[in-house]
Amino acid sequence: MAIFARLNRPRGTHNRLDRGAPVGRFEPMPIDPTEPYDEGNIFARILRGEIPCKKVYEDDHALAFHDINPLSPTHVLVIPKGAYVSWDDFSERGTNEEIAGFVRAVGKVARECGLVADGYRLLANVGLDSGQEVPHLHVHIFGGRPLGPMLAG
């Protein structure tokens, strides 16, 4: 499914792993990045080792893994290990060490994936209008082919 098609879903819903469903089964539910962190979100479950991932990188501040529905030849998600809903939440509550560690992890993953020479794109969605689907801060790293315009009209 193309990322832009997902933006056409009803306002106030996103896809989230159902806590009781097998991996890969999703249910729509509201997401509001101003609400408290949801410990049951899929990335929190990955961090706790409840759900496996295809790990690319891990350190004290971040975990990076391949997206299960890649939109480019290289599509890696980088998440902070702390309980942060969005960039604004992270920049407000994260320590300087956590923020620096996370930003460095994003760069390190791009380098280790061999994306620097040809270029890559970083994407972080926040809230309903952006299409944020998981209420845990995450950065998508896309690369491995020309990516076209930043936004499709």
Residue with tokens 């994306």: 115
**Tokens in use for 45?**
């479950």
**Spatial distance between the Cα atoms of 75 and 27, rounded to a whole number of angstroms:** 23
**What DSSP designation does 143 have?**
E
Tell me what the mean pLDDT of segment 129-145 comes to.
94
Least confident stretch, 3-17, 50-64, 127-141: 3-17
Q: Is 60 within the bounds of a domain?
A: yes
The count of domains in the chain is 1
Looking up residue 121, the CATH number of its domain turns out to be 3.30.428.10
The pLDDT, as a whole number, for residue 153 is 65
The pLDDT, as a whole number, for residue 130 is 86
The pLDDT, as a whole number, for residue 3 is 32
Report yes or no: 74 and 143 within 8 Å, Cβ to Cβ.
yes
Report yes or no: 79 and 62 within 8 Å, Cβ to Cβ.
yes
**What DSSP designation does 150 have?**
S
Q: Is 137 within the bounds of a domain?
A: yes
Q: Judging by DSSP bridges, how do beta strands 120-123 and 139-143 pair with one another?
A: antiparallel
Residue with tokens 């790293």: 141
The pLDDT, as a whole number, for residue 45 is 98
Neighbours of 79 (CB within 10 A): 23
Q: Is 150 within the bounds of a domain?
A: no
Domain ranges, residue 132? 3-143
pLDDT in tens, 35-80: 889 999 999 999 999 999 999 999 999 999 999 999 999 999 999 9
Please indicate whether residue 109 or residue 153 has the higher confidence score (pLDDT): 109
Among the listed residues 14, 75, 138, 140, the single catalytic one is 138
Q: Which residues are registered as beta bridge partners of 143? A: 74, 120
**Spatial distance between the Cα atoms of 135 and 20, rounded to a whole number of angstroms:** 18
Reply yes or no on whether 138 is catalytic. Answer: yes
The pLDDT, as a whole number, for residue 123 is 96
pTM (2 decimals)? 0.80
Q: Is 148 within the bounds of a domain?
A: no
Tell me what the mean pLDDT of segment 4-8 comes to.
33
pLDDT in tens, 74-130: 999 999 999 999 999 999 999 999 999 999 999 999 999 999 999 999 999 998 888
**Spatial distance between the Cα atoms of 103 and 112, rounded to a whole number of angstroms:** 14
